[in-house]
């Protein structure tokens, strides 16, 4: 814009010659100046892509007005139609732009089948197509928002003559909700918002479209969800490190592993560090490695001090400049959670302790609970049922994160129950993260350098995934990384690999 300044200065000597001409030129230059400043300011705003049908198209003028000065809002070219059209054109709609937020919707076209009579029009195809579209959208690393489809007509639709029953609509809404929930995508429930008003604002009983007042209302609902996503994205993500560092009671292998463990713990100023299998002397080592963190040790797994052959702590370290400590506690994963050292019947003889902590994020003011887990694989589903029940009683309405060593593979009943919408309703952070880095396995395989004095591995052991971070819906997982640590001095730092996660609270 320096040329505008220069143009104004060069005109000054001629003001007396022709004031009117000069003033007109100055006015034009000032107008250009304003437009350039506006364009520059707009370029810095978050870029929002709207993917949807004619409902979103007609809502766009009102949405642009609502978000003026807040975001750059763009609707893709044309109508998104049914999910099969989305699969055909999604790459074209996304283009090369680096989108910050994408709000998307499909539904009415899949229910009515307008101009797509030859394509499958059923719930199975709809749900499968939605999952494929979500997989593609997640590759953009944008914050995603699902907008529920607006209600169908209350009478047979004017073009097809099809009447969509409330029960069929509910099944379509439920299918979409399953996909979004399993992928950790926030839902802006436009359907629920507009439903009480559809008879007033519908163009006709046999028309899915709305009056201007209806579109204005829809735009306001869309804008509220987008503004919430923008506000959340403006916060610096919280960072969490989960690491089962193989326990050492005697100090036999620790000198050869210490530098490798320290390199992981200090590579980033993690807001939370959760460690499993910590002996008493190891906790002192971690404290020295993390001088800017406060921590709570929790109870010992065996619940007493007369057995030094096996015990462990699961400490939680937190950064006080980002997180405010509110409460914490422990219980034993046994038949009686309040009995120190208790264990589940038909499980290993030594008890396991669960340690939780409630914190407040100083940036957002939001509270959450984090749990540090190390359980046996035997009766893992019963252990998780106990943990979820106990920690929910402590969390109240606060979202929960459960991280640790579960000793259960993804095909186990314990894992299935954790992610089931009918059982515990948690999400595997690895599966919903916007960005996933590293291998999938979390423990070393047969023949690899085991961090013990003997450097041996049990026969039949193989690399597998048994360490997880589970989150409740609403928590946004920005990145998830499993770090295959390097061998140093002949050993891995542990028989497990660390997990690094960045996340935002709902």
Question: What DSSP string describes 157-180?
Answer: -TTT-----HHHHHHHHHHHHHHH
* Measured distance CA(132)–CA(129) in Å, rounded: 5
Q: What is the pLDDT of residue 293?
A: 97
Angle at 305 between CA 303 and CA 311, to 5 degrees: 65
Q: What is the pLDDT of residue 145?
A: 97
What are the CA-CA distances from residue 121 to residues 107, 109, 207, 283 (Å)? 11, 9, 20, 59
Q: What is the pLDDT of residue 457?
A: 38
* Measured distance CA(436)–CA(163) in Å, rounded: 43
Q: What is the pLDDT of residue 144?
A: 96
Residues of the chain with pLDDT under 50: 2-9, 11-12, 15, 17, 35-39, 449-461
Q: What is the pLDDT of residue 340?
A: 83
> How many CB atoms lie under 10 A from the CB of residue 235?
13
What tens digit of pLDDT does each residue of 406-446 get? 999 999 999 999 999 999 999 999 999 999 999 989 998 65
* Measured distance CA(79)–CA(90) in Å, rounded: 12
3-state secondary structure at position 80: coil
Q: What is the pLDDT of residue 10?
A: 53
**Which residues share a beta bridge with 178?**
none
Q: What is the pLDDT of residue 49?
A: 98
Radius of gyration from C-alpha coordinates of the chain: 28
Look up residue 235 and give its two tokens.
């916060």
Cβ(151)–Cβ(163) below 8 Å: no
Q: If we measure between CA atoms, which residue out of 481, 506, 480, 484 comes closest to residue 495?
A: 484
């Amino acid at each position: 814009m320096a040329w505008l300044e220069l143009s104004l200065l060069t005109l000054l000597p001629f003001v007396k010659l022709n004031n009117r001409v000069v003033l007109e030129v100055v006015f034009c230059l000032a107008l250009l100046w304003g437009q350039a400043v506006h364009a520059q300011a707009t370029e810095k705003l978050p870029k929002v892509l709207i993917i949807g049908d004619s409902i979103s198209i007609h809502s766009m003028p009102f949405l642009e007005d609502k978000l003026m000065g807040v975001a750059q809002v763009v609707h893709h070219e044309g109508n998104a139609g049914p999910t099969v059209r989305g699969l055909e054109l999604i790459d074209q709609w996304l283009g090369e732009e680096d989108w910050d937020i994408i709000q998307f919707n499909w539904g009415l076209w899949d229910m009515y089948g307008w101009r797509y009579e030859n394509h499958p029009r059923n719930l199975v195809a709809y749900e499968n197509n939605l999952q494929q579209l979500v997989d593609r959208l997640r590759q953009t690393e944008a914050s995603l928002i699902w907008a529920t489809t607006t209600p169908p007509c209350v009478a047979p639709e004017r073009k097809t003559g099809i009447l969509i029953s409330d029960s069929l609509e509910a099944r379509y809404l439920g299918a979409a909700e399953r996909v979004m929930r399993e992928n950790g995508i926030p839902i802006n429930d436009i359907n629920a918002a507009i439903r009480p008003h559809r008879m007033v604002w519908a163009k006709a009983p046999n028309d899915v479209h709305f009056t201007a007042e209806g579109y204005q209302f829809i735009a306001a609902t869309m804008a509220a969800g987008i503004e919430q996503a923008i506000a959340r994205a403006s916060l610096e993500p919280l960072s969490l490190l989960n690491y089962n560092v193989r326990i050492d009671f005697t100090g036999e292998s620790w000198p050869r592993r210490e530098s490798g463990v320290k390199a992981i713990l200090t590579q980033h100023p993690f807001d939370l560090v959760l460690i499993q299998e910590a002996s008493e002397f190891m906790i002192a080592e971690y404290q020295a490695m993390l001088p800017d963190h406060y921590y709570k040790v929790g109870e010992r797994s065996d619940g007493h001090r007369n057995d030094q052959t096996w015990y462990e702590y699961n400490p939680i370290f937190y950064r006080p400049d980002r997180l405010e400590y509110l409460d914490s506690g422990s219980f034993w994963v046994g038949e009686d959670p309040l009995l120190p050292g208790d264990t589940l019947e038909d499980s290993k003889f030594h008890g396991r302790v669960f340690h939780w902590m409630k914190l407040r994020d100083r940036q957002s003011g939001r509270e959450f609970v984090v749990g540090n887990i190390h359980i046996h694989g035997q009766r893992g589903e019963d252990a998780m049922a106990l943990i979820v029940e106990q920690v929910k009683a402590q969390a109240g309405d606060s979202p929960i994160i459960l991280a640790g060593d579960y000793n259960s593979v993804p095909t186990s009943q314990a894992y299935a129950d954790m992610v089931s919408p009918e059982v515990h309703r948690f999400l595997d952070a690895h599966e919903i993260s916007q960005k996933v880095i590293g291998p999938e396995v979390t423990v070393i395989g047969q023949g690899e350098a085991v961090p013990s004095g003997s450097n041996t591995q049990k026969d039949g052991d193989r690399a597998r995934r048994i360490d997880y971070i589970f989150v409740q819906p609403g928590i946004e997982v920005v990145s998830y990384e499993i770090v295959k640590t390097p061998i140093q001095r002949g050993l891995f730092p542990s028989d497990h690999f660390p997990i690094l996660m960045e996340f935002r609270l709902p």
